[in-house]
Copies of this chain bind each other. A is one copy, B any other.
């Protein structure tokens, strides 16, 4: 349902500059392709040139962001935080799918399941013995929830996510399809020519406001818990081994692996395809750059790169040095020759 520019500006706490306040906005789009009837945002000067010829009807922009030669048809929506205002606009114009309060007849409940109010449970979901699901949570089709699992309020678990027995999930948690929470950690002792399985009898605790990406795996603790702290966000295809302690507001990007018994402190960022060896501590706010492999503790706030990972500046210096290395080999050969000559002359 389209709304007027004025309505949108009011809703998003923005001031209209230019354009037509009664123009209708039906959707949001990227500044590179926004058309008439669409609202966009401009927050990065790198993309500022796109505004000149934009057909968009409106564009969120910060007070301080200078632009010139704006099309007459384009209204600026001037505001304090255009990124947040744009998020509000997107949510208004593209409302999320609503799952109504309903238990699908094809869902299976084992004994003693405890369901909160206003819950959606999709077809073919399987809810194990003694599991509990909080108010307003949505368990989509085919989700498997093991025995004794606790799921808080306002959660959404997407189709075919699997929650093994004993896992505890807080409130406002999103788990995407194919994520496997609480499978056995990878632990064996080698005896008599075979790998003897170390029992994995702990669990996983996922705190509030965590999002877990598609096909990500978070293993249960061998003993005790693997823990994901409040507000941490985990991308797709991430492997989190047993007994890791992930702090608050940590970011873990796609294809990253954390072996086991690591501590990843608050606000740390593990970029794509990075890896952490076992028993390592990543300090608060540290950044492990893409594809880096960390084998020892990283101090708070450090940025590291490479495999083995080093302080970013050191790693970059080494990279530059390596690029000069083939030339250096030649140089040294020539120096040797010059020394030889000097020695003969000597």
Restricting to A331-346, which residues have a CB under 8 Å from any CB of B? 331-332, 335-336, 338-339, 342-343, 345-346
Q: Please encode chain A, from 228 to 242, with 1 for each CB lying within 8 Å of some chain B CB and 0 for all others.
A: 000101011101010
A213 and B223 within 8 A (CB): no
B142 and A97 within 8 A (CB): no
A136 interfacial contact with B, CB 8 Å: no
**Which residues of chain B are near A239, meaning CB under 8 Å?**
235-237, 254-255, 272
| Number of chain A residues whose Cβ lies closer than 8 Å to a Cβ of chain B | 110
B195 and A249 within 8 A (CB): yes
Q: A162-B178, A213-B217, A236-B217 are in contact. Are A29 and B223 (CB under 8 A)?
A: yes
How many copies of this chain does the complex contain? 3
A211, A291, A306 pick with most chain B CB within 10 angstroms: A291
Q: A191-B84, A335-B335 are in contact. Are A223 and B90 (CB under 8 A)?
A: yes
A28, A144, A214 pick with most chain B CB within 10 angstroms: A214
A198 interfacial contact with B, CB 8 Å: yes
A69 interfacial contact with B, CB 8 Å: no
Give the B-binding residues of A (Cβ under 8 A).
Answer: 28-30, 33, 81, 83-84, 87, 90-91, 94, 96-97, 104, 106, 108, 122-124, 126, 140-142, 144, 147, 158-160, 162, 164-165, 174, 176-178, 180, 183-184, 186, 188-191, 193-199, 201, 209, 211, 213-215, 217, 219, 223-224, 231, 233, 235-237, 239, 241, 243, 249, 251, 253-255, 257, 259, 272-273, 275, 277, 290-291, 293, 295, 306-308, 310, 314, 317-326, 328-329, 331-332, 335-336, 338-339, 342-343, 345-346
